[in-house]
A and B are shown apart, each in its own frame.
Chain A
């Protein structure tokens, strides 16, 4: 890989300063920044709803809000976080920015489609915000029928249309990534030289284009049920509400992997760079992403063990859910082994990655409890499930998101943030997270049901809920702090060198920070393997020696 960086040339941030130059841009990097701003906004909205939920649960009698308000608060939290943060965040921000750079392309294959996807995202988001403010949505993020189709009085129709529209934004991004990764790779960038970040996003995009249309049309059918009173899912009209659950989870289980595979993709990059080592078992990590994508489509029934599906279906889905643990475990073991005999550098992105490793493992292991039919029947609909999926979604995706933000921040903006604060903050995220969700495992196991706004029947649960709320407050602080120091660094942070982490990969080695409009001067030619780190030489260099001298 060649290194040549011209400093005089304008970078992508300097190519036009008008609002139109941002809102009509076709540059994948600028679209990524647009997404960064809007996704951060929706994350803030979802967090407010989460804090409302946590505050309500500090007292067993649920005195702060009414049942309905509480239903609307947790529904808003779920919908915003799933559809407008988790599914979108890493692919649309980091995938958008980095996939063309990592494969040596000038842009994504369809730049206009890319911009359109952001507009669809915003349109869907605004529809949901309007729905939330003009009456709210109280059917949970799962929109189960007949609650959503008949009984709910909230603004379900508008919220569902919003989710439908935002689904298209995902589909556009997925189609774009697939075409780009297949056809736009630079000379020498073979499939087995692709960074694992790209492999992870490739697998994600496959799930997106196969799954998202299913949930989109299913939600649209619910809209028709509400508006035109047709009855595909209404029992009075001969329909079957469980069919909705099947079609909803046919997407929404794979969607869990849409949320976590990009996170895993990020972790592979951070682990390699901050262990100064090749990712152990590169081929297995790459193929395990595809394995997860394939298996993700045959496990949805584990959400429905108590939804009147037959025992044999239950056994089948239980078995396949155990199977999907295998590729996930391959990744966790291989990341751990990447650090082995590496030269581990505990910079802030690495602290987030290590946090991911621990929390995702807890989330994954408790997933195995829930995949066992007997255990699941016992804890279905309790806080045990809530804790489990937050360990995967927050402990996994959110930590990976923060890790990615810190790792690629100098690439995005050419500025460094205060590393000392960032490190302490990364540890606070880990502590706050565990304080929030560990007690929920316990209280869930003891029988606290999810989606209840009081628990006067079991006041002894209060201690767990108070611990959880305290943790959530710590977590909230640890999420506000980066907003401040990152914004500060944009203006006052020291200028970053092109490659502050001495990382490998085209985006670091062949491009400036921030990159120029077309990413590279000319077309980069790739020779040699991906992740060409040499931990031994770097360790020796720290002691002032070369390999020959040693």
Chain B
């Protein structure tokens, strides 16, 4: 039933408000970029808060960043970079209509995204939670060199920012799964490569946010 050889759409779907496929594609890409602008501003607020408080409490922030393991963050960085590469390949193959290759590349990307979340949960969020290092009334802190309220502020920023990023990764996983399904069943709305390209743009954005988060939280200079 599901053919894996070639994408066999007779012609591409053009929605009624557009004149032709070219206009539709250009409009979609522009819309996606506009959306990414709003995403940049979203994360901008989190980065701004980080900058203000690191400026204010740099020595404490340095001490606090040792709470995070740079190796785990590094592994996650590598995973995201690899997934960005494979999603770029998926776009390339989709333009050539090589269905099997597209599915493999998207599958690899999705696998990376899931492992990112799993690693983050297993090695970072859950241990922190068990130590009581989550912001809120139950926050416990026993390092005498860093005041408890600043530690809590730091963990607020850490959980807020990486949480928002993690939410984006999770949305990515859902979207990749839907896209793979639609490609697998030759759904008419997926006939051209544009959905893959747009999701790819989104994924590169998620990747880039992490590229900034990693040094800011894991690799702080003294």
Contact = CB atoms under 8 A, between A and B. Distances in A.
A510 to B, nearest CB: 16
Interface stretch (B25-33, B75-83, B118-126, B207-215): B25-33
B39 interface: yes
Nearest to A108: B17
B52 interface: yes
A378 interface: no
B57 to A, nearest CB: 7
A48 B52 CA distance: 41
Given A209-B34, A237-B156, A238-B57, A109 B45 contact: no
A109 B44 CA distance: 27
Contacts of A178: 30-31, 34
Interface of A: 105-111, 171, 174-176, 178-180, 182-184, 209-214, 216-218, 221, 224, 228-232, 236-240, 243, 247, 518, 523
Interface in B43-75: 44-46, 48-49, 52-53, 56-57
The interface size bin for chain B is 35 or more
Interface stretch (B145-153, B171-179, B180-188, B191-199): B145-153
Given A106-B16, A109-B27, A184-B27, A229 B136 contact: yes
B137 A229 contact: yes
Contact of B30 (A105, A106, A182, A221): A182
B129 interface: no
B134 to A, nearest CB: 9
A480 B18 CA distance: 41
A523 B38 CA distance: 32
Main secondary structure of the interface of A (DSSP, over half): helix
Interface in B1-44: 16-19, 23, 26-28, 30-31, 34-35, 37-39, 41-42, 44
Nearest to B46: A217
Nearest to A216: B42
A211 B135 contact: no
A184 B17 contact: yes
A178 B30 CA distance: 8
Contacts of A218: 45
A237 B42 contact: no
Nearest to B155: A230
Given A108-B17, A217-B45, A230-B152, A183 B26 contact: yes
Contact of A231 (B16, B30, B31, B153): B153
Interface of B: 16-19, 23, 26-28, 30-31, 34-35, 37-39, 41-42, 44-46, 48-49, 52-53, 56-57, 135-137, 147, 149-150, 152-153, 156-157, 159-160, 164
Contacts of A229: 135-137
A281 B136 CA distance: 58
B149 A214 contact: no
Nearest to B154: A238
Contacts of B52: 240, 243
7 contacts: A106-B16, A107-B16, A110-B31, A184-B18, A216-B42, A221-B45, A238-B150
A210 B153 contact: no
B135 A231 contact: yes
Contacts of B150: 238
Given A179-B31, A231-B135, A213 B39 contact: yes
A214 B16 contact: no
Contact of B17 (A109, A175, A228): A109
Contacts of B137: 229
A243 B49 contact: yes
A174 B41 CA distance: 14
Nearest to A183: B27
A236 B157 CA distance: 15
Nearest to A247: B45
Contact of A230 (B18, B135, B147): B135
B34 A232 contact: no
A77 to B, nearest CB: 27
A73 to B, nearest CB: 31
Contacts of A209: 34, 37-38, 41
Contacts of A109: 17, 27, 31
A140 B194 CA distance: 45
